[in-house]
A and B are shown apart, each in its own frame.
Chain A
Amino acid sequence: MFFLGLMHTAVVGFFLDVLTWIVNLPPEKMDQFGIVFMMVLQMFMTFFVFALIIIGMGLLYYTLSGIQDAGDLWEKIGKIGEQRKIRGLERE
């Protein structure tokens, strides 16, 4: 929401204004550029947020997989007793 909210801001408008100062294009061409620019920005933001959601769901897969298969638990069971050896407690 914030990413998309940032699009309709004075900053984006200001950027387009600055472009009009630098590039001398007819007004209709400039309008078209504005539409293309906003369109690209809009789609970039949309796909970026979508990518974040995909990442979140990917991570959720591993959590669900962990609950189902208890891989982490099996790994911890395998390590029982190892930590004491590492700390040298066995020698004491």
Chain B
Amino acid sequence: MRETQFIEQNKEKWGEFENILEDEYKDPDKLNDLFIQITDDLSYSRTFYPNRSVRVYLNGLAQSIFHDVHKSPTSPWRAFQHFWLEELPQLYFEARRDMLVAFLVFALALGIGVLSCAMDPDFPEIILGQSYLDMTESNIKNGDPMAVYKQKGMFNMALGITLNNLMVALLTFLTGVFIGMGSVIVLIFNGIMVGVFQYFFVEKGLFLESFLTIWIHGTIEISCIIVAGAAGLTMGRGLAFPDTYARDRAFQLSARRGMKMMIGIAPLIILAGFIEGFLTRYTDTPQIIRALFILISLGFVLSYFMWYPAIKARIGFAAPLYNTDLNPDLNLKINYRSIKRNGEVFTESFLFLRNYFQSIIILVGGVTALYCTAVFLLSPAINEEVFVLPTDLFLYLGDFDDIIFNDQIAALPFIMGLCVMILTTGVNRLMIRDSDKTWPSWSKLGKDLFAALPGTVVLLLLFYAPGGITWLIGSMVFPLALLWIFINQREAGGNPFTGMQRTLLWLCHNGAGYGPCR
């Protein structure tokens, strides 16, 4: 083919490619096709017209596509910048209706709190508790109504408040899983509390003082709770209105969006906690400075969550948010032969749970029913004395041994032991079935239950010694006992000594970290 004919034949195509290259948003598939075709043409021209300008032109074109396709990886700083200045504002912009709803719900609840307080003088006692009211009234009498912010050391207070606020924000978000209703309820609860708290001081004629103290940190703190509520609503919306996706897929996407929104507020919650711990206590700071601080905080919150996303949306975001990072539907199977890192073991535990969800729920429900029925039949009365019910998470974990060793029910360790044996045997048999592709025979069930006995005794004994020593020893021996049970049932034929020998052998080979350290 003559060179002119070659050019004539392809010039329209090359022109089109030039236009695609100039576009701001390039389709990767098109770019890939383009690269293949251009390199084909370049090869042809290198063979037949090696010293002609068409070869140089095609080489230049191929080079620019190559640079576009094989761009150097984004630097961590650029990724960081992109997340905070592009991706997050876009997420907040797209969730603007949820943000508005969360704000309105909170504002309404705050109004309800104020109104309830104004109409019923006993209402603050219900919401804030008598001890808190007594303490605040005593502070007012002593001439320092905001003394509550000066009680602890700066750092301890900041840390405690930050952790509490993170927990509240996380709860506001996570409860959004109930199609957003949980977030709304938590927002209402918090809104009423803030309203009551603020009106309590208004009633005492301390509006300005309380406002300038509380809202120094409250501006950022409450904004974060509202955004957490919006994140919960975003997550719940995916579940309630899946659009064209399957419901679980839509939920996956919306939960991911909500989680990113939560990441956005995490540093602000920490900042608010530190402001509350370190700055709020200086109540003798001139009012104008405190008012200015509140205005700056409000300005920042409004700018970052509303104004900046709106401006960015008007100008145009760098790249639209696509839902392309969705994993394909696969029947994921666990490879029992591969050596897994600790993180993989953790992930695959949830995969196993997903694959055998129904069986595990039935099993867990069964042992729960067995335990509760036995407990309520054996306990002298149904009251809160029998067990420590979880009013506080850490308190509950500290008194965990009460559900095994309880003064009022002597047989409780035996009931719990039976439940542990059933649960371990059931779950282990499911796993053995999954790995060996055959059900362990039912005739072996009794033997398997018996094989779980020694490990179960060890597990229960761990909780017999109360206090910190339990947690220390438990954290080391607890997994080992479970491993021992599994080995007893899987390969030791129920002989606990062989099982123990094998467990210790593995432990010696792999170290106290149990898993491979790669």
**Is the A/B pair a real complex?**
yes
Per the CB 8 Å criterion, the residue count for chain B at the interface is 67
Cβ B483 vs Cβ A61 within 8 A: yes
Residue on B with the closest CB to A59? B345
Q: Which residues between 172 and 216 of chain B lie within 8 Å of chain A, taking CB atoms?
A: 174-175, 178, 182, 185-186, 189
Bound CA–CA A2/B403 (angstroms): 19
Please measure, in the bound complex, the distance between the C-alpha atom of A13 and the C-alpha atom of B506, giving whole angstroms.
Answer: 47
B382 CB contacts on chain A under 8 angstroms: 32, 35-36
Main SS of the interface on chain B? helix
**Interface 9-residue window, one of B22-30, B93-101, B249-257, B391-399:** B391-399
Q: Which residue of A has the minimal Cβ distance to B182?
A: A11
B389, A58: Cβ atoms closer than 8 Å:
no
Knowing A39-B375, A54-B424, A55-B349, say if A10 contacts B186 (CB, 8 Å).
yes
Number of A-B contacts (CB under 8 A): 154
Q: A38-71 CB contact bits vs B (8 Å, 1 = yes)?
A: 1110111011101111111111111110111001
User: Which A1-58 residues have a C-beta within 8 angstroms of B?
Assistant: 1-2, 4-11, 14, 32, 35-36, 38-40, 42-44, 46-48, 50-58
Whether the pair B482, A57 counts as a contact (CB closer than 8 A) is yes
Say yes or no: B372 contacts A39, CB within 8 Å.
yes
Q: How far does the alpha carbon of A23 sit from the alpha carbon of B333 in the complex, in Å? A: 46
A9-B171 contact, Cβ under 8 Å, with A72-B337, A72-B339: yes
A residues less than 8 Å from B396 (CB atoms): 4, 42
With a CB–CB cut-off of 8 A, which chain A residues contact B515? 60, 63-64
A82 contacts chain B at the CB level, 8 A cutoff: no
- Bound CA span A61–B61, Å: 56
* A43→B371 contact, CB < 8 A: yes
Which residues from B are CB-within-8-Å of A75? Answer: 337
Question: What distance in Å separates the Cβ of B28 from its nearest Cβ neighbour in chain A?
Answer: 26
Given A39-B387, A59-B334, A67-B510, A54-B427 contact (CB < 8 Å): yes
Contact with A along B137-180 (1 / 0, CB 8 A): 00000000000000000000000000000010011001100100
Name which residue of chain A comes closest to B167, CB basis. A5
Complex CA gap A71/B185 in Å reads: 53
Which interface residue of A50, A52, A61, A68 has the most chain B CB atoms within 10 A?
Answer: A61
What's the Cα separation between A84 and B167 when bound, in Å? 54
User: CA A52 – CA B431 in complex, angstroms?
Assistant: 12
Shortest C-beta distance, B193 to chain A (Å), equals: 11
- In chain B, positions 371-414 with a C-beta closer than 8 Å to chain A are 371-372, 375-376, 382-384, 387, 389-393, 396-397, 403
Which of B265-273, B284-292, B313-321, B361-369 lies on the face that meets chain A? B361-369
A67 touches B339 (CB 8 A): yes
Q: Which residues of A contact B483 (CB under 8 A)?
A: 57, 60-61, 64
A56 lies within 8 A of B431 (CB) = no
Interface residues of chain A, those whose CB is within 8 Å of chain B, are 1-2, 4-11, 14, 32, 35-36, 38-40, 42-44, 46-48, 50-64, 66-68, 71-72, 75
Subset of 7 A-B contacts with CB under 8 Å: A8-B390, A8-B393, A32-B382, A50-B420, A56-B349, A63-B515, A75-B337
Closest 3 CB pairs of A and B: A57-B482, A72-B337, A58-B431
